[in-house]
Amino acid sequence: MDLLAQLEPGRPLTPFAVHWPAVESRLGLRLPGDYRASARYGPLLIGGAVVLQAPSREYLAMLPWTKHDLRVELREAGAVPRLHPAPGGLLPWGHTLNGRTTLLWNTADPEPDRWTVVLCDPTRPEPLLDTGLPLTAFLEAAILDRVGHLGPLPATVAPYGEATPGLPPTRPELAAEQLEFALHGPAGLPALRLLVPPPAGPRESLPGARLPSDHRELAALYGGGCWSQWLRLPAPQRSAAPADGFLEIGTSIDADRLGWLAAGPDPDAWPLVIRPRHSREEVPLAGGLVTVLTRWLRGELDVPGLPGLDPADDPFECAGFEPC
């Protein structure tokens, strides 16, 4: 049954282009047919409470970090989650509007149309609740009655947020010795290029800019962009340091500020620091920008503003770069 045909649209629903073979190849899984039918209109808000994510470029890029957050929160709640791509692992497909509950599939059944919806809320006594219901049956039950702590909900549907068709950059295919070097070799540009291949195309150079040499080299390879959906490093600009000597070069999505203490004539000797948004204390970082960036992407660094990986996270899955 087409669930969307039974709901009252709050605003017109616009078709959303999905290349399903590419999406399923990327995930390594076939997806349920009722999800395909619903996701044809992009991200949706169902019943004013349930956000159904479409397989957009943004959703796929954020999926590793969604799983990271679940691992951390569930471990703190005393649960040990089994998440995709582990065989039969839980795969996130949405969340509640308040963001407190993540909605996942239990992918243990080889037939995707029989996957059941799991509610995950680490603040509840039962942090993981398998409803035993496939997607459409779950949504119908949440609208007509109650499932766990959800429902009854209004029989409405509306577009939710913006989404871009397509896939984020593909994970590199590396030989065993390259994998070892990327994760455990010297933390420099050669390792970084294996971990996150530079985008194609020319980059703007700033031959006259007074900046540390590794920042200039990084900008020449990658240009400006966002690293791992977290750290924004715009293309370097010709600008003088402010009066307090802190030359900002990037910000996290939480507004933590990364930059140098630009004191002295040699930019390569400038200390790299973070100014966390909730603290007046600067956090010094050992090494230059490329070293710090490589160590953070590997999961070797965990400081305010640059959060570390969970032990079960795959650095190659989490690491990424999106030009801007």
Check which CATH number belongs to the domain holding 154 and give it: 3.40.1580.10
What's the pLDDT score for residue 169?
Answer: 83
Final residue in a domain of this structure, among 101, 129, 159: 159
What's the pLDDT score for residue 38?
Answer: 92
* Same-domain status, 102 and 200: no
* Same-domain status, 221 and 249: yes
Instruction: Indicate whether 130 belongs to any domain.
Output: yes
What's the pLDDT score for residue 200?
Answer: 84
Instruction: Indicate whether 152 belongs to any domain.
Output: yes
CA distance 168 to 166: 7
* Same-domain status, 264 and 145: no
What's the pLDDT score for residue 132?
Answer: 98
What's the pLDDT score for residue 206?
Answer: 58
What's the pLDDT score for residue 81?
Answer: 82
Final residue in a domain of this structure, among 127, 159, 191: 159
* Same-domain status, 214 and 295: yes
* Same-domain status, 126 and 212: no
CA distance 262 to 245: 5
Domain span including residue 60: 3-159
Instruction: Indicate whether 193 belongs to any domain.
Output: yes
* Same-domain status, 199 and 297: yes
Please choose, from the candidates 97, 23, 61, 94, the residue with its C-alpha nearest in 3D space to the C-alpha of residue 105.
94
Instruction: Indicate whether 43 belongs to any domain.
Output: yes
What's the pLDDT score for residue 2?
Answer: 73
* Same-domain status, 261 and 304: yes
What's the pLDDT score for residue 203?
Answer: 66
Residues with pLDDT less than 50, the chain: none
* Same-domain status, 130 and 155: yes
Instruction: Indicate whether 169 belongs to any domain.
Output: no
CA distance 170 to 103: 25
Return the HEC string of 43-77.
CEEECCCEEECCCCHHHHHHHHHHHHHHHHHHHHC
* Same-domain status, 198 and 317: yes
* Same-domain status, 124 and 199: no
Final residue in a domain of this structure, among 109, 133, 159: 159
* Same-domain status, 38 and 154: yes
Instruction: Indicate whether 89 belongs to any domain.
Output: yes
* Same-domain status, 155 and 7: yes
The tally of domains found in the chain comes to 2
What's the pLDDT score for residue 110?
Answer: 96
Instruction: Indicate whether 170 belongs to any domain.
Output: no
Instruction: Indicate whether 171 belongs to any domain.
Output: no
